[in-house]
Amino acid sequence: MKPAVIVADVLVIGGGQAALRASIEARRQGAKVVMVSKGQIGTGGSSAISDTVHSAILAPGDSAEIFYQDIVKGGKQVNKPELALALATDCTERVQELQQEFGVQLHFERELVTPGHSFPRRCYHKSGLGVSITRKLREYAEKIGVIFYEKTWIVDLLSDRGRMNPDGISGEGSAVAKGRILGAIGISSDEWMLFIAGNTILAAGGIGRIYAHSDNPIDITGEAIGMAWRHGAELQDMEFIQFYPYRLISPINIDLYTKLFAKGAVMRNEQGTRFLEGYPRKELETRDIVCYEMFKQGRVLLDISQVSDQDLKETSPRLHALLAKEYQGELVVQPVEHYSIGGISIDASGRTGLPGLYACGECTGGVHGANRLGGGALTEALVFGTRAGFAAVTEATTLEEGMVREVVREFVPSESPRSLLNPETKALMLAVRKHVQEIMWNQVGIERSLQGLEQAYTVLSKIAQKVRHHLPLLNMVQTASIVARSAYVRQESRGAHQVIDFPGERDEWRGNLIVHGEELTFRSLS
């Protein structure tokens, strides 16, 4: 049962915008770059189904300093300052090169419609389809020689300390001592794959589908975060989960753009009251505020009676098409899980603190604090993908032939990868996943309670023990458990974290919860 062995200077795990930009930058610096993805590179992941909105400083009077202040204000003052500053400083160059280097045609919106921004910064592709951008990045990456491995499922990282067999892990699911990351273990077409690399970049997305209601792709379940944690990487801000308020769930399931509300759309409760009337920006307040107010109403209806036909056609063509068929029923909106604000702790170059391991994109934490502004996710992918790709090459470690041989020799799986793919195992995965999703939505959702969070953490910890020999499930469940535990520990309500037992922000909690192994500590920013 010999594995296939692939050796690279830089291994990038993921198939979306952050992974592509990291791969491109590493290849531009002269590295041999291998990119591995569960699905098709450039068509899978959250960025491929996004609305293409980025942020750039192009309006007269705007500046990186003003944008930085907006990011920190939106993040409720608990952002990692150097990361927020990097985003504000690099965003314009990274967004402009989409057009100048990669052939993506962008439209810059000159009216201020995005909540939390002091100036217009929205840049987007007119198609509104993220794949319009990721396909261009894929084409460029292929052209310059990035090597793709698609439909390949990464189940664990390779380390020179606490190396793990794919059928079980040392420490019964606990994080192991820090060792150098040497690559990753994957499965493709019922075959074990060993990807051995001088440096590895995790860019495999967030945790959306550990929630029952999410607009993320079905395979976004926090596996990269769980893998990194088990190998000793620090996580931060895991309690902060962003929910997206502008999701139409009936009669069709689609995201609505904030621009629709700038053109006259409003939200009403079942009594017909515009419940956001008392807020200065009403439906255009930041997402954490709108979501929590929607949650308190129960059922929320969309009123587009004041939106012109032309504006509706331009901002929401699918909704316009539905109404053109003379649909007369209610339009129901509901928040859904949208973005993982917390994740792997990194510095401004994507270093995780684990030798050989970098990270970028939604699997990381620290950039956005307690709440992310609109247009921040895709911009973050470009900025930190570029930075991680550059650092992974300039700080490269040469792989000696003896080291490669040793890694291959020590990889001795006791069973075939088919054991993770057979019908019985798939049924187990579906059942566990559904259970986890219900726990997270009901007890670690928009509104939380200490009792519910404690129950969630207890149950999830028990589930993790039961699936400790199934790495992909373990990665997902342990990540969910860390979210619940972090939320239980933060005794205040801040941004996307709202706890009925502790209403309002508390000055003593202005800082970050850091998870390292079984230790959870508070790092003050005051």
Say what the alpha-carbon torsion angle 263, 269, 271, 274 is, to the nearest 10 degrees.
Answer: -40
Would you say residue 525 lies in a domain?
no
- The last residue of one of the domains, among 311, 336, 361, is 336
Question: Can you give the pLDDT at residue 499?
Answer: 97
Angstrom distance (rounded) from CA 390 to CA 393:
6
Percent of the chain surpassing pLDDT 70 = 96
Q: Which residue has the higher pLDDT, 479 or 422?
A: 479
Q: What letter does residue 194 receive in the DSSP assignment?
A: E
Within-domain flag for 526: no
Across 438-459, average pLDDT: 97
Considering 384, 409, 434, which residue would you say is the last residue of a domain?
409
For residue 485, what is the domain's CATH number? 1.20.58.100
pLDDT at residue 166 tops 60? no
Predicted confidence at residue 512, as pLDDT, reads: 98
Q: How far is CA 524 from CA 366, 396, 496, 507, 511, in A?
A: 13, 33, 19, 10, 4
At 40 the pLDDT is: 95
Looking at residue 168, its pLDDT comes to 39
Q: What is the pLDDT of residues 265-293, one digit of tens each?
A: 999 999 999 999 999 999 999 999 999 99
Question: For the residues 318-334, what does the mean pLDDT come to?
Answer: 90
Flag whether pLDDT at 165 surpasses 70. no
* Residue 402, C-beta contacts closer than 8 angstroms, at least 6 positions apart: none
The model's pLDDT over 367-376, given as tens digits with 9 standing for 90+, comes to 999 999 999 9
How far apart are alpha carbons 440 and 419 in whole angstroms?
Answer: 28
Least confident span in 42-56, 240-254, 388-402:
388-402
Q: Does 409 score more than 60 pLDDT? A: yes
State residue 1's pLDDT score: 64
> Are residue 194 and residue 259 in the same domain, yes or no?
no
Q: Find the mean pLDDT for residues 432-447.
A: 97
pLDDT for the residue numbered 328: 86
Asked if 357 and 396 touch (Cβ cutoff 8 Å), the reply is no
Q: What is the rounded average pLDDT of the residues 350-368?
A: 97
Q: Residue with structure tokens 């079980």? A: 168
Q: Say yes or no to pLDDT of 124 above 80.
A: yes
Could you say which of 336, 352, 381 is where a domain stops?
Answer: 336
**Do the beta carbons of residue 17 and residue 381 sit within 8 Å?**
yes
pLDDT number for residue 192:
92
Of 6-10, 81-85, 353-357, 413-417, which gets the smallest average pLDDT? Answer: 413-417
Residues 229 and 258 in one domain: no
Examine the domain organization and report whether 322 and 387 are in the same domain: no
Q: What percent of the chain has pLDDT over 90?
A: 80
| pLDDT tens per residue across span 441-450 | 999 999 999 9
| In-domain check, residue 226 | yes
pLDDT higher than 90, residue 410: no
Structural domain for 439, as ranges: 415-520
Q: Say which residues have a Cβ less than 8 Å from residue 296's Cβ, sequence separation at least 6.
A: 447
- Same domain, yes or no, for 129 and 158? yes
Of the ranges 1-5, 125-129, 167-171, which is most confident?
A: 125-129
Q: What is the mean pLDDT of the chain?
A: 92
- Res 78 pLDDT > 90: yes
Are residues 170 and 64 part of one domain? yes
Q: How far is CA 377 from CA 75, 144, 298, 344, in A?
A: 13, 26, 28, 15
- Those residues whose C-beta lies under 8 Å from the C-beta of residue 451, and which sit 6 or more positions away, are none
Query: What does the pLDDT average to over 215-237?
Result: 95
Does residue 486 share a domain with residue 501?
yes
**For residues 246 and 79, what is the distance between their CA atoms, to the nearest angstrom?**
24
In terms of domains, do 180 and 57 share one? yes
Is the pTM of the predicted complex or chain greater than 0.75? yes
Are 94 and 203 found together in one domain?
yes
Query: Residue 172: is its pLDDT beyond 60?
Result: no
Same domain, 401 and 500: no
Domain match, 8 and 117 both: yes
If you ran DSSP here, which 8-state letter would residue 126 be given? Answer: T
Q: What single-letter DSSP state applies at residue 431?
A: H
What is the pLDDT, as a whole number, of residue 405?
84
Q: Which CATH number belongs to the domain containing residue 249 in this structure?
A: 3.90.700.10
Whether the Cβ atoms of residue 254 and residue 318 lie closer than 8 Å to each other: yes
Residues 77 and 180 in one domain: yes
Residues 173 and 47 in one domain: yes
Decide if 82 is inside a domain. yes
Mutual angle of helices 81-100 and 64-74, in 10-degree steps: 120
Whether residue 503 lies inside any domain: the answer is yes
Domain count, the chain: 3
- Using alpha carbons only, what angle is made at residue 91 by residues 150 and 344, rounded to the nearest 5 degrees? 55
Instruction: Tell whether 307 is covered by a domain.
Output: yes
For residue 414, name the pLDDT band (cuts at 50, 70, 90).
Answer: low
Q: What is the mean pLDDT of residues 50-68?
A: 96
DSSP at 248 = E
